[in-house]
Structure 1
Amino acid sequence: MFSQTEKGRAQLPENTWVVSFYFFFYLVFCVFEALFECGCTLILYQPQRLRNTRLQPQHFQVWFLQIWFSNIPVQKQAVVWVANKDSPINDSSGVILISKDGNLVVMDGRGHVHWSTNLSRPAGSPNTTSARLLSTGNLVLQDNGDKKLWESFSHPQNAFLPTMTISTDARTGRDSCLDPGVIPLPFPELALWKDGHMLWRSGPWNGQNFLGLPERDSRVDLYGFKLANDNRGSVSMSFGYNQSMYHFLLDTEGHAMEKYWSEANQEWSMGLMFPINCDIYAKCGQFTSCQSGLNPPCKCIRGFEPRSYEEWSRGNWTQGCVRKTLLQCQRLERVMMVLRLKKMKVPNNPQRSEVNEQDCPGSCLRNCSCTAYFYDTGLGCLLWTENLMDMQEFLGSGVTLHVRLAGSELKTSSNRSLVIVITIVGCAFLVVVIVLLALRKVAKRREKNRNARLLFERMEALNSNESGAIAANQNKLKELPLFEYQVLAAATENFAVTNKLGEGGFGSVYKGKLREGQEIAVKRLSQTSGQGLEEFVNEVVVISKLQHRNLVRLLGFCIEGEERMLVYEFMPGNSLDACLSDPVKQRLLDWKTRFNIIDGICRGLMYLHRDSRLRIIHRDLKGSNILLDENLNPKISDFGLARIFRGNEDEASTLRVVGTYGYMAPEYALGGLFSEKSDVFSLGVILLEIVSRRRNSSFNNDEQNLSLSAYAWKLWNDGEATTLVDTLILDECFENQIRRCVHIGLLCVQDHANDRPTVSTVIWMLSTENSNLPEPKQPAFIARRVSPDAESPWQSEQRASINNVSITEITGR
């Protein structure tokens, strides 16, 4: 807080926010640091002299009153708000003070006022005002009763900060808008304007979301946008995203962008939100649909044609389309038809009709000037009586719009004989189709039974040494639902690209939703995959026997023709690998969350090795095979390469080396030997990745370090283990625990398998802080370099390394 002093100058305590005069002005914004608790400093910033110029420095001294961050380097500062942006001070000094009438003013050295809060106070009233910079970045002028008399949030420029409100009030005519123009429309709706022309619109607000935003744009939910409408002309919007130095920026060209400060890179990250491509208002003109990704993106809706074919062929779509056949209102009941357009952005300028959902179509059809209608539970019945402008077709969301067309668009024929012939042929064709479908259904049932028997036979072979267990295993497998191909195709929208979660050596994974509403993840085995029926059967057999909170749950499978699919529970948190590399999600992974993930992985692996009825070696443990639920709890997935240890078996060997380079233990990669300790090696690599937030494959081009474990070993020997730790979690409160996890990770990746701890020992080390751990020995370094393909969320490596002849050539998948 600052108040009037004896000399009339304002004084501020120190803080992370800074109110300053700065000679170079640009409008950006950010917020989130507290003023009163942490302190703030008022700086009269002396502008630097311009180099390579013959003019005197004082000719370029320009001063502005700004609010900005003090904990960011000056050359990368972000200005939150500027008071005298239209009236800079161009002499050698300036002051901030509270004047005799109680206003906060900015004056130059000659006493000329360049900016003021311009509040009117009764004559003779005592001057008891004071100014304060709040924790939200809001500069307020208040009386001695802490009543706000003026605030900078009510005078925004091009900065949209958390808790700031932009609003409009039709009763008073007062608006609080961003410059150069984000204003709520009367419906209510957000729009971007420039020089009186609309650049972008959000679609109307229905109480939950804006109907013009695609499903891919989840910022409304993620960033906590809220819109308040009193239905009497007052509309306001704000957001409350709890993320340090995150903000929105509106540039002079009318582009809205999101921006946040990266502590790790010490840089501002910026992303363009809108308008992009089809988001541009009326890009394709009237009665058109715009779809991003198509070439050309614009097309006339059914029943319409381009107004000018010549301009249309040149790529100029602004003239839009016109009806092929005009509506005949006097013969409405006989000639009118309705076209249903799905997944659409709501057109501009709708009107509300006070009717229910059942009467909404009739309300439009009885009105000759009505061109389209749409019903929403939050908005009611919406009608359009003018040209349909700014329509956009989305891929996975949107509304169903009903457009009126002339009946001739049905293209019916009056030739009675032709109708009779078509009817007879159609009926005959229908009978043939029904017979073929029945025969196909019988054939599919036989195919399913044959494939099921094959699956049981494979399971018997995998469990042949367990007396009396075959029948029980078959019964366990029979409990898993055998999904039909059509059911999974419908759930994933015929395996649409928009539902694709990722792909790897096995094929692709798709997100789906069953008819009853349950979300699923469908793993579809590719016919060209290096993993065949054996891996598929192995995963079904292994995971059907496992039940643990840290293992992903198999819901069923599908065997139909050449199709092989596994159905899992859907994990909305994505994979651990994806979260660690995502610039937004990685900030949700504080140390407590990461430690919980480490503990969960260990307990899931402990169940596989010791606590389940069968001892199972995973053989492909890595970050992309660790999935996270909505609470970021880890679950181990992908058991296609897992192997079951029988009896007292502790170690096995194979000539068929499979796995992912960088996570395979040296005795397995070079000699084909695998055991519990080979999974422990993979666990150690994952533990180091979680602590450092660096992928093991990021060292492929590093000439000094062959892997993450090699880099960690070097830092450990140099006494600089904390250098490995991700700066986002480097906290003195957990420094010992983090260092202990690095120590345990190095113990897990030691060269010799006998030197590595078991998973149960790792869990004990993590939970016991006062015990002395043994010093780690040198990790395994494999000299050959391989550059694996980059992974994406829910994605394994691109190829499986399967070598049935020898182990002289190893390629990671």
Structure 2
Amino acid sequence: MNMNQTVLMLLLHITSIFLMLSICISLDTIAVHKYITDGETIVSENEKFELGFFSPGSSKHRYLGIWFKNTSPHEVVWVANRETPLINTSGTVKLDNQGILSLVNGSGAVIWSSNSFVSITSVNPIAQLLDSGNLVIKDATSVIWQSFDYPGDTFISGMKLGKNLITGRELYLTSWRSSDDPSTGEYTVGFLMEECRYPQVYIKKNSVIETRIGPYDGVEFAGLPNYKHNPNHIYTVDMVAHQKEMYFKYTSNLTASSLKSTVNPSGILEISQLNHRNNEWMSDHTMPVDYCDNYGLCGPYGSCSTATSPTCECLKGFELLNPNNWTSGCTRSRALDCGPGEDFITFSSMKLPDTQNAVFNASLSLQECEVACKDNCSCTAYANPNMTAGGVGCLLWFGDLIDVRVYSQNGQDLHVRLAATELSELNMVSQSKRKRVLTLVISTSSALVFLLAVSYACLKKYRTSRMNRRGNWYALRKKNTDVRIEDLDELPFFSLQQIAKATDNFSINNKIGEGSFGPVYKGVLEDGQEVAIKRLSETSKQGLVEFKNEVICIAKLQHRNLVKLLGYCVHGNEMILIYEYTANKSLDTILFDETKCLMLDWPQRLNIIHGIARGILYLHQDSRLQIIHRDLKPGNILLDGDMNPKVSDFGLAREFVGSDTAATTRKVVGTYGYISPEYAVHGQFSVKSDVFSFGVLVLEIVSGKKNRGFYHKDHNDNLLGHAWRLFREGRTSEFMDASLHDVCNVSEVLRSIHVGLLCVQHHAHDRPTMLSVVLMLVSEGVLPQPKQPAFFTGESDNEVQSVSSVNEDTLTQLYGR
């Protein structure tokens, strides 16, 4: 009896071991007549991907999908039943002996099916989730069906996107309708894939092209103006073309790296890589990049550049067709006649035109390409799109050149056909310019030598400083006399006597504020106009350079959300600026006052946020001078009688030109709590520094609390950290000012907080541009997930060697290690 019991127990133990082994072996597969129910999953062999049921966002519907395993949140890469959700958790996945994988609901009705089947001779088909993220149905000899043939909104390594030239079937990405709904949305990312046509990528909204990426340059798609070709990059893009199909794929150069490209419900294509150390996704590129990525923005033969104002201009040899409508584009100044004198003008650093009306020959060199274009009177331009070393290839355009832009880097040469008379005129103009430049250089050099000698003699003789170059200060003499700034004839000059009279001799009763520069007075001019008068104090650390900078800078800026400079005064050691008067003073005097803050309801706060954003966008992109402000804070946001915001105080602003949108300095200026981490620690500032400051402003406006000095009883985070903590915990609404809870549009508040968190992300490259910020604030599309913000209050003393503050928090010297 005991012997029988022992044998029975042994058999049961062995059986259980085999069952466990069977389960372990089949963790990544679904066998015939095996089921997976809601709550169960299968995992690829090396645990990179997982298949199971999920509910997106706040939706309660259930979907069968594949996602990256061990990342939080789950990044879904494929959805089976995206158009037919399950309404509860009764779904079941099963595979029959015909090789058909089906998803059925609780009533047994088929919700989704692979529509695949095997031949009678095939045996034991299985469904298997591979480490590539591909779900395949296969038998012993071949793959019958695979999920990679049915892409959704995400492109991952190993997938193909392109066209089968035999069947005509195209593989492209389609966005989700929203973050809660994976059904087919408005946007697609597809390819131009035709024989004798050159491939490129389009982002379309309801079949209308919104952005064109490309064309392919042999290494990457050229529509990435801020991307430099790097052979050590973590992935490579490959184009495959033969008689049966044309497609793109990308492969990782690092085995430990994971990549994905996703088109979101707002039509933004984002390429991300997974940091396996913390299992967080890092954004590598987003497209469209900027305003010029709007398709055909400047019309035929028009060229777009974010480095110029206006952004659109006609190519040389062309003139604007309709001054009131750039989409009409440009037309030739001289018509082509196919005469012998016709030739080509070269444009460098360009995004090549749309290739829909171009023909490609892979075997022609650039010289042969020129001959081919010249021999065909219908050919309007040519280029070699292949940027690889020694690469050949010829693109010939027949018709209008559309969607051209200038790149600061990663651009290509475009050769455009012009009439002989047009080329002759351009050459004459060019030669004339060369002669004028040469004459100017020689005469200027001679004059400069002479002036240097005279200046040196005067310096030795009189011991006074004079500056004789255009656009600089005239020297201030010791005696008190009025001094004007050159090249500012359009800006009114006020005498010190006029200013003294307007302010009742700088009466303390007229003093309305104090800044790092000195006091601000309310004044009334002789015509009755109320003004704000900013007087530079003798102890101010804003000196001549900053004063001159502010005068010249603001005088050339005109925008409703920038404070208007009405005039200036320089008299002896007195330096004074006269601004438009803003009845409600600065934002900080109201926002952080327990009583006055009640004046700011939510519509007013939202209007202030939008106004500041528009003002900064104007500075960064749309003004004659492109400006980085460097000291955005509530004290520098003035409010007029209608609570409209005006960005002010340009003493620390820096002008940038073209692609020079970043710089490094050893003297960090700004206000602690509002300057970005890369600027505070390393002295690196850019337009993204202003974006960070704007993000802090947004979070302060919504919460009614200061970032610096913020305290919470439950943790030691600053205001940014507190907002991030609530966002991650799904309690974002708790962040808003208590006075807003019952009288605001909650969705607008939550969206503003979300945008604010995107702006204060720790790394500058993760922050959006101000153009993206403005678009996100006024649209209703899905926003990207923000990453951890910079926790400024957590910095230790060894990270910042010295901080010298002026007027509460203004930094004048802060050196990074």
TM category (shorter chain) comes to 0.3 to 0.5
Q: What TM-score, normalized to structure 2?
A: 0.46
Greater strand share, 1 or 2?
A: 2
- Give the TM-score, by structure 1 length: 0.46
